[in-house]
Amino acid sequence: MTGSHASQSSRWAVLAVLALAVWGSSAQAQQTPPIQLAPQKLAPPTATAPKIVAPPVATADQATAPEKTNNPAGTGGVQVGNLQNIDPDSTGILSEAQGGFGAEMWLGTDRAIVEKLLPQLPISSSSAVMRELMRRLLLSIARVPEGKSSGLSLIATRIKLLVAMGDLVAVNTLLNATPGRATNAELARIGTEIRFLSNDNARACAQAGGQIRNQDVDFWQKAFFFCQALAGEHDKAALGISVMRETGNQDEIFFSLIESLASGTSPTLTTLADPTPLHLAMARVAKAKLPNDVISSNRPGILRTIAISPNAPVELRLEAAERAEAAGAIPVDFLRQLYSSVSFSGEELANPLSRAETEGGPMTRALLYHSSLTQTVPTAQAEVMAKALSSGRDEGRYASVVRVFLPVLKSIPPSAELLWFAPEAVRGLLLVGDTLAAEAWFALIRASALFNKEASQAIVQLMPVVRLMGSSEAAEWNTTQLSTWWESVKDRKDAVADASLLYSLFDALGEPVPSESWDKLISGKDQKMVSVPNPSLWFRLIEATEAARKGAPETKTAMASETSSDATSDRTMAPPPKIQSRVAETILLSLLALGENGPTGASPFLLRQVILSIRAAGFDKEARAMAVEAALAAGL
């Protein structure tokens, strides 16, 4: 049924009155105190940037806390000053000392560019380096970019991106630090949606009840009707639903779920390809089996919710959990627990390697994980883990598999019988930063190389990636020895592609590759189609990189510093330190250039430029970590 704008408005007016009456009489128990404004005080800066870790799954109780009360009388409350001049868009929770990009990170970048490009961040990438850079970019305390605004709220955009990334702890912390959030409708909606994602319906309904008083918005109406159904007030919810249908709303998923809650029967969902947080919360309460296409969502925040949903089939939960863990949206312990919860037959547990030969996917990796825990012989454990790592590499989840199986890997003692497994163990342990355990395996290879040709070859093939990782084991190795490496791998199927990638990575990290090594790859026949970013984005990345490089602080040797000190006794005459321009823009453009596929899916040409750009912006450690990700994913 359709009607004029005036008739629709009158229907909503009636509905609003009914909602207010219902709220006043039956929802007071869920209502939270009014939220008042006070700034979030940051912890003192630490000496080093904290390690970025995945948020825990259970975050429902860590949601947006009430803002502190202004108490000028000094009766034990927190006193606050005038906040009228604080721009919410400058809000952050990471200072430069805490891992942020610095207060001047947008220096030299026009706001219009930021508003256009920031919402396009590839938040679904499985690259741990990219995720860390995105998280720090979004959480940094920084002045807003100069230039005219189109009206886009940067703080709301940043928080939405963090929600999509599944980093709900960071979302809550940033919301708490944002001035004026109590009166910001967009931020209020985000706060309610993360409650639904966390299965915290009680607090979500309290927030929805507060917003329904003032807003005639579709989202709040639906949330309120769901909350009425949760309270058993199905007749009252039905009245509002009928008005909503008459106004032309066509969200059939919502209507089907709300009707099933009223009837007490589980609905049949044939499709849910783009679920909202409200849809997932309603489906969980209605015990509706999630359809297969729900996994088509590539947002880590949605995948995280599917992974913890008991109403999803185990295959979907495993797939969602693997992808969410790879994107950092759930901790690795949760994925281990989910693997352990899957039941397998005795026959399957007796032959895990046979299944892994013909099948891949999350269920097979869960089977291999089960088997690795039950095996008592180190050789058998190593065989199972090697197969799991191979599966993960083939399916683009190598780093995730390493993290999941890390306790098993660390429990396997290096021995002569496991020499074949040693290179894989070294790669995995160095990837997670366990250099001590890696050195034990490397010592095994070195000792065996004195009398074992295969061990000697393993060292030759392993040394370049060990050098990329910055391990002391490769302190005496340099790129002049790449010709020896090439001779040991040139007969491989993808030898030229592997060498092109490896040489590009070394060159980008400031370790030039001899021209004769490049010459050996020239054939004129190997033409490949590669994905490249938009030319305008590419040229802007080059431009921003040069701007960042020119403003980078000069690196001086000890001798140069002493000479400068002797020549200039008056410190006031020293030039002011340089401030880099376009730092955040360089990182933003680099992330966009890589896209969702990340460094493991980028061509050597593109990856080389991105690593050069990240280094120019002052992120050498992250550039090296990105190179390692790409090398290990390629099987180097």
Q: Tokens 């199986």 appear where?
A: 405
Query: What does the pLDDT look like over 321-354, one tens digit per residue?
Result: 999 998 888 899 999 999 988 888 877 787 888 7
Burial of residue 259 (number of CB atoms within 10 Å: 0-12, 13-18, 19+):
middle
pLDDT at position 555:
43
Q: What angle do CA 316, 317, 320 make, to 5 degrees?
A: 85
The pLDDT of residue 570 is above 50: no
pLDDT at position 214:
65
* Beta carbons of 471 and 438 less than 8 angstroms apart: yes
Query: What does the pLDDT look like over 86-111, one tens digit per residue?
Result: 788 888 888 889 988 888 888 888 99
Taking residues 59-84, what's their average pLDDT?
39
The pLDDT of residue 567 is above 80: no
pLDDT at position 68:
38
pLDDT at position 373:
87
CA distance 338 to 352: 18
Taking residues 216-220, what's their average pLDDT?
80
Query: What does the pLDDT look like over 260-277, one tens digit per residue?
Result: 888 888 888 888 888 889
Taking residues 176-192, what's their average pLDDT?
83
Query: What does the pLDDT look like over 407-430, one tens digit per residue?
Result: 999 999 998 889 888 888 988 888
Low-confidence winner among 67-81, 193-207, 212-226, 586-600 (lowest mean pLDDT): 67-81
Query: What does the pLDDT look like over 398-412, one tens digit per residue?
Result: 888 999 999 999 999
Which of 110, 119, 111 is closest to 138 using CA atoms? 119
pLDDT at position 135:
93
pLDDT at position 209:
82
The pLDDT of residue 311 is above 70: yes
Distances (CA, A) of 103 to 95, 222, 297, 367, 517: 8, 40, 35, 48, 43
More confident residue, 475 or 530: 475
pLDDT at position 587:
93
The pLDDT of residue 568 is above 70: no
pLDDT at position 18:
41
What DSSP letter does each residue of 545-596 carry, written as one string? Answer: HHHHHHTSPPP--HHHHHHHHHH---GGGSPPPP--SSHHHHHHHHHHHH-T
**Residues 6 or more apart in contact with residue 432 via CB below 8 angstroms:** 402, 403, 406
Which of 447, 444, 441 is closest to 428 using CA atoms? 441
Q: Chain-wide mean pLDDT for the chain?
A: 78
366-386 burial, b at 16+ Cβ within 10 Å, e below that, comes to bbbbbbbbebeebeebbbbbb
Quickly state the pLDDT bin for 486 (edges 50, 70, 90): confident
Query: What does the pLDDT look like over 277-310, one tens digit per residue?
Result: 999 998 898 888 888 888 887 889 889 988 988 8
Which of 149, 161, 198, 203 is closest to 32 using CA atoms? 203
Q: pTM of the prediction?
A: 0.78
> What 3-state class would DSSP assign to 613?
helix
